[in-house]
Structure 1
Amino acid sequence: YAFFLSLLGLALLLNCQLGSAYLLTCYFTNWAQYRPGLGRFKPDGIDPHLCTHLIYAFAGMSNNEITTIEWNDVTLYQAFKGLKNNRSNQLKTLLAIEGWNFGTAPFTAMVSTPENRKTFIASVIKFLRQYEFDRLDFDWEPGSRGALLRTSTSFIILVQEMHEAFEQEAKQANKSRLMITSAVAAGISNIQPGYEIPQLSQYLDYIHVMTYDFHGSWESYTGENSPLYKYPSDTGTNAYLSVEYAMNYWKDNGAPAEKLIVGFPTYGHTFILSNPSNTSIGAPTSSAGPAGPYTRQAGFWAYYEICTFLKNGATQEWEASQEVPYTYQVGYDNIKSFNIKAQWLKQNNFRGAMVWAIDLDDFSGTFCNQGEFPLISTLKYALGLQNTSCTPPAQPIAPITLPPGSRSSSSGGSGFCAGKAKRLYPVANNSNAFWHCLNGLTYQQQCQAMLVFSTSCDCCNWA
């Protein structure tokens, strides 16, 4: 009996370690709490086992110090902390400081002098420790909105000084080092003036490439939000607007692949066609599409709003050259395109996926009939992360009874796993189940609803 319990504990431990080294980083936006009805979302709606890293967006800055933005940020911070407790601290949380909505001026002023940078860094350390975040994420594009070219160099200096301060603080406090990540541009027009890639890559722990918003209602023609590959007829700068080109540009210009995170959008961009009979990619448009009932932003729909549009009879097309879907007025992503991109990510040895945003997926499962968080769940299983959240018991304290036929009677083996190598096997006539063979013992396990066991990755995946 003791021997069996030790084997069972080992089996549970091995099952927990079947996960991968990929990261799945998900942004939460603190303004999602203001959406009406079923669109309202707060941290208590987050599945703590869904993502490996959660980023709280956003914090702000005042007088060269990091600060809250929303009236209840501190309360929501505590909810984030609670999510970590549910994962035995395997979940890592980050606090993102933004630079888009309030412009580049505050950042430009902060990085301009050693004194301002020192003030900012000290405030960040105090803030992150106080609210128990593990990392800081910069959401600032130094090459955007006409920012001065010198700010790219100042940004590198800031990140270097912050990295050194984080290391010193960790040694003095005998704690794990705080880490630094950054969401960076995917468009060449912003990358080239905004980043000195080799130098920046030395001091950032991970680099979140925002491989979305390649096309949208700010243009006078339709285009995909986040195409994996360029459209065949694209020329000039449009030929650079794809996930493949952007990720390879960062890698080829000095960013290590093991630090690069590919961006995945859980939303799409909408258009009003100039000629309703012309529905192709690149068709002329007259304006942004109507705002969604929950996100309430012209030209922008959450995935769950797109599902409603499709249910109401919209025609869905697949653009094979770019590996993404579209309807006649929306460029977006779905489960199929997420899975294809995830396989491409793995083939190219990038470190993981970043999602904008967790509150734009069908988090309630009521709109798309694909379960809760269908897009992010696709990434979780495609990246082999389905077992990273389990924690094996330190020691069983009571007899454990498995269903009949679920285990063998001795270490010599019997039943399905007798004489078989230690690995996972499909169950005949039950695509949702799989056998886990360990030292001749047989364990039958189930994938989550709507998933099937795949021998190509030894994981549960979408059919």
Structure 2
Amino acid sequence: MYSLFLGLNLLLNAHLGSAYQLMCYFNNWAQYQSDVEGIKPHDIDPCLCTHLIYSFVGIWKNNITMTKKKALDDYKEFNDLKKRNNQLKTLLSIGCWNSGTAPFITLVSAPEGRQSFITSVIKFLRKYGFDGLNLFWQYPGCHGSPPRDKHLFTVLIQEIRKAFEKEVSKNKKPRLLVTAAVDGAIATIKSGYEVSQLSRSLDYIQVMTYDLHGSWEGYTGENSPLYKSPAETGIKAFHNIKYIMDNWKQKGAAPEKLIVGFPAYGHTFILSDSSKTGIGAPSNRGGHPGPYTKKTGLWAYSEICTFLKSGATQVWNAAQQVPYAYYGNEWVGYDNIKSFHIKAQWLKKSSFGGAMIWAIDMDDFTGSFCGQGTFPLTSTLKKVLKLHNASK
């Protein structure tokens, strides 16, 4: 009997030890472009991710507000995905770079404003069927946000968590989750985050380990390298996933709450000299906009696959464990199935809580661009993390 108990206990521990999270952002931008056939909420495979995060909503007069009139239909479709996977959790993300810092600065500046916001959040999440909130403030304590906001961001998180716990005691529903997307830059962490305090109140901390290099630097570089380049010195040596995640952990964040960011897109460059094609090659601007993302200097994975099929030279960057490719004077640093697999294995060995992908709509969701099946990047993460709770 004792041996049976011991065996069951070991089995339980093994199961708990493999409970990684896969948190997938869904950005609804493409639906509102008349000439783009973008992904709709019902196109998402609800069994790929443990959490789906709808982005974004805004803040108006210290209250949560919809950014698009069509969003009501989106919310219903998005949360109806839980009917096809009852273990799926959905979160609503508020903020992002486009919303600016001003609404957050006003919100956190007074207790009354924070309370108004929290009340509106609980009402909004319950009304539309979300399981929690994702705060996406870029960034407290910098980029126009005053130094005091570093602490006030902590206060806001603490008050949200307390209100979510209090709300549970009244309606007997599962507690709403509270998570935050955070930066990895040393200066931003120092200016914006009280790491230990945030870790105690947040359920998960999604670390944006991407946009680490781009056309704004004037030379080619990888979007989301696992390790530093041998040629990188000084602060540039910190622009890699390993350093960023270790830094968050060393500053007091619980490893099991830290979620590693995975980009389903790459940064593009126009080479100044098409004969110089390696890491650090001179670049004079971002690459041409893709037909779907329509952003200079950025391609979704599906767009990258089209570029690769056009005859581009593909190079595996062994030092940083990510690929890059070039054709003529166009150059892209990106991720593929191989780099996602390697990074996911690394996060498991490092005992982090899981992965988050920005964004599932930038993956090849139809399977028609890359020839790797539907959602190839997201599916790779699910497979490596062995997500039983996202498979039913």
Q: TM-score range by the shorter chain?
A: over 0.9
1:87 and 2:85 matched: yes
Unaligned 5+ residue runs, structure 2?
Answer: 1-11
Please give the alpha-carbon distance, in whole angstroms, between the structure 2 residues aligned to 1:204 and 1:245: 22
* Corresponding residue number in structure 1 for 2:187: 189
AA in 2 matched with 1:347: K
1:136 and 2:133 matched: yes
AA in 2 matched with 1:169: E
* Corresponding residue number in structure 1 for 2:354: 352
- Is the Cα–Cα contact under 8 Å of residues 19 and 384 in structure 1 kept in the other structure? no
- Is the Cα–Cα contact under 8 Å of residues 143 and 191 in structure 1 kept in the other structure? no
* Corresponding residue number in structure 2 for 1:323: 321
Please give the alpha-carbon distance, in whole angstroms, between the structure 2 residues aligned to 1:319 and 1:390: 33
Decide which of 249, 252, 255 is 1:251's aligned counterpart: 249
* Corresponding residue number in structure 2 for 1:163: 161
- Is the Cα–Cα contact under 8 Å of residues 178 and 202 in structure 2 kept in the other structure? yes
Q: Report the Cα offset of residue 370 of structure 1.
A: 0.3
Please give the alpha-carbon distance, in whole angstroms, between the structure 2 residues aligned to 1:355 and 1:153: 28
Please give the alpha-carbon distance, in whole angstroms, between the structure 2 residues aligned to 1:355 and 1:154: 28
Over 3 Å counting, the alpha-carbon distance change for 1:332 and 1:39 in structure 2 is farther
Over 3 Å counting, the alpha-carbon distance change for 1:39 and 1:223 in structure 2 is farther
Q: Report the Cα offset of residue 34 of structure 1.
A: 3.1
Hey, which of these two has a bigger chunk of helix by percent? 2
* Corresponding residue number in structure 1 for 2:389: 388
Between Structure 1 and Structure 2, whose CA radius of gyration is higher? 1
Please give the alpha-carbon distance, in whole angstroms, between the structure 2 residues aligned to 1:286 and 1:143: 31
- Tell me the SS of whatever aligns to 1:298: coil
Between the aligned residues of both structures, percent identity stands at 59
For the aligned residues, what is the CA RMSD? 1.5
- Tell me the SS of whatever aligns to 2:389: coil
Please give the alpha-carbon distance, in whole angstroms, between the structure 1 residues aligned to 2:98 and 2:262: 21
1:26 and 2:24 matched: yes
Decide which of 50, 53, 75 is 1:52's aligned counterpart: 50
* Corresponding residue number in structure 1 for 2:371: 369
AA in 2 matched with 1:113: A
Q: Report the Cα offset of residue 31 of structure 1.
A: 1.0
Please give the alpha-carbon distance, in whole angstroms, between the structure 1 residues aligned to 2:91 and 2:102: 24
Please give the alpha-carbon distance, in whole angstroms, between the structure 1 residues aligned to 2:17 and 2:187: 37
* Corresponding residue number in structure 2 for 1:115: 112
Please give the alpha-carbon distance, in whole angstroms, between the structure 1 residues aligned to 2:21 and 2:338: 20
* Corresponding residue number in structure 2 for 1:96: 93
Q: Report the Cα offset of residue 146 of structure 1.
A: 3.3
Unaligned 5+ residue runs, structure 1?
Answer: 1-13, 392-463
Please give the alpha-carbon distance, in whole angstroms, between the structure 1 residues aligned to 2:36 and 2:381: 24
1:294 and 2:295 matched: no
1:414-436 deviations in whole A, cap 9, x for unaligned?
Answer: xxxxxxxxxxxxxxxxxxxxxxx
AA in 2 matched with 1:100: W
Higher relative contact order (CA 8 A, sep 6+): 2
- Is the Cα–Cα contact under 8 Å of residues 223 and 266 in structure 2 kept in the other structure? yes
- Is the Cα–Cα contact under 8 Å of residues 26 and 355 in structure 1 kept in the other structure? yes
Q: Report the Cα offset of residue 249 of structure 1.
A: 0.4
* TM-score, length basis structure 1: 0.79
Please give the alpha-carbon distance, in whole angstroms, between the structure 1 residues aligned to 2:293 and 2:107: 32
Over 3 Å counting, the alpha-carbon distance change for 1:39 and 1:269 in structure 2 is farther
- Is the Cα–Cα contact under 8 Å of residues 30 and 292 in structure 2 kept in the other structure? no
Over 3 Å counting, the alpha-carbon distance change for 1:37 and 1:304 in structure 2 is farther
- Tell me the SS of whatever aligns to 1:218: helix
Q: Report the Cα offset of residue 144 of structure 1.
A: 4.0
